[in-house]
Amino acid sequence: MKRAATRPPRRVLLVDDEPIQRLLLMRALEPLGVEVQEARNGQEVLDLLRDSLPHVVLTDLHMPIMDGLELTQRIKAIDPLLPVILLTADGDREVRLKGIEAGADDFLNRPVDLTELRLRVKGHLERRWLQEKLEDLERTLLALVRAVEVKDAYTAGHGERVAQYTCWTAEELGATAEELEELHMGALLHDIGKIGIPDHILRGDYPLTENEWRLIKQHPVKGDEIIQPLRAYPHLRPYIRWHHEKLDGSGYPDGLTEVPLLVQALSAADIYDALTGVRTYRKSLRPEEALEVLEEEARKGRLHREVVRALKSGLLRNRALRAV
């Protein structure tokens, strides 16, 4: 029988300077079976957050030391995804707008409708739980990638190096902070589909048979399947699935002739790391030689020239390549 994952205890942090209000809210939350932590003001909250984070914060608006809006901002600076519910006076539109600006996730009118309070808190706890599960999954996948890499001394650290080169390249191409974050994750995970490939094939230290090549070429599709449950899946998908595509259609698995520029940044970084890394069957290339190979790829119409140029200037800027 499939057993549901046991949830660790959930904690709600109640912030109000009036003890009676805290008591009322605490009683209302009792049926949810959550642990309730209390704080009288923003400073107490910040002290508590230093030790550990609750799963939801429920805060009053008017309090001594700092008001609920400033507190919301301070909490969001610590963890942007920690749900904050603001208790506001009925219909106070101005305050709500300021609350949205401060990053509040939800509002409850005073006097508080206790049933609504329970439902809202429950909903936020559910979302927080899902988010934690997805983060765990991301961590697990990264650990798996490392486990695959260390099986072969020559590819150890490949994902991290490729992520670094890819981000340097993307910065030169003018990628936004959000794109860089997705790209970094996509680059770390790009070869995750190699998990199922036997070690001797991965090492590739002897000529591979046609069947073994076919198996290796499946890794972008396998990777695509593995990352499907991830929250960031739609954004990461092109990096995992298309990092072996080439502009002349000779790549795999989809034989594309149009490949997004940032995906090409990952392809270029991947090839660069493979060429500069040591393998048992060939000596590694110097950075300048590896870039020449990539320039040749661009001349043959397999990679955009601009991407190779960006990789080169990214390496120079970060002193991974010496200017001649």
Residue 200 CB, nearest approach to Fe ion (Å): 17
**Which among 109, 116, 132, 101 has a CA at the least distance from the CA of 10?**
132
Q: Would strands 84-89 and 106-110 be described as parallel, antiparallel, or unpaired?
A: parallel
Phi, psi of 14 (to 5 degrees): -100, 125
Residue 127 CB, nearest approach to Fe ion (Å): 34
- Taking the CB of residue 14, how many other CB atoms lie within 10 A of it? 24
Region 269-288 residues binding Fe ion, contact defined as CB under 5 A: 270
Based on the shown chain and the rule CB under 5 A, indicate whether residue 152 belongs to the binding site for Fe ion.
Answer: no
* Mutual angle of helices 233-242 and 261-276, in 10-degree steps: 50
Residue 126 CB, nearest approach to Fe ion (Å): 36
What is the distance between the alpha carbons of residues 190 and 193, in angstroms, rounded to a whole number?
A: 8
Count interface residues toward Fe ion (CB under 5 A): 2
What is the distance between the alpha carbons of residues 223 and 227, in angstroms, rounded to a whole number?
A: 6
What is the distance between the alpha carbons of residues 61 and 289, in angstroms, rounded to a whole number?
A: 62
What is the distance between the alpha carbons of residues 16 and 37, in angstroms, rounded to a whole number?
A: 11
Residue 244 CB, nearest approach to Fe ion (Å): 6
Nearer Cβ to Fe ion (152/191): 191
Region 181-200 residues binding Fe ion, contact defined as CB under 5 A: 191
The sheet carrying 84-89 orders its strands as: 35-39, 11-15, 56-59, 84-89, 106-110
**Which among 39, 101, 45 has a CA at the least distance from the CA of 71?**
45
Nearer Cβ to Fe ion (105/273): 273
Can you read off the two tokens belonging to residue 124? 């936020």
Nearer Cβ to Fe ion (108/162): 162
Residue 277 CB, nearest approach to Fe ion (Å): 10
Residue 10 CB, nearest approach to Fe ion (Å): 40
Q: Where are the beta strands (DSSP E) in 172-301?
A: none
Collapsing DSSP states into helix, strand and coil, what is residue 104? coil
Residue 270 CB, nearest approach to Fe ion (Å): 4
Nearer Cβ to Fe ion (245/270): 270
- Core vs surface per residue 196-209: b (16+ CB within 10 A) or e: ebeeebbbbeeeee
Can you read off the two tokens belonging to residue 56? 């939801």
Residue 62 CB, nearest approach to Fe ion (Å): 55
Q: Which helix (H) or strand (E) segment is 109 a member of?
A: strand 106-110
Residue 51 CB, nearest approach to Fe ion (Å): 40
Region 232-271 residues binding Fe ion, contact defined as CB under 5 A: 270
Site of interaction with Fe ion (CB under 5 A): 191, 270
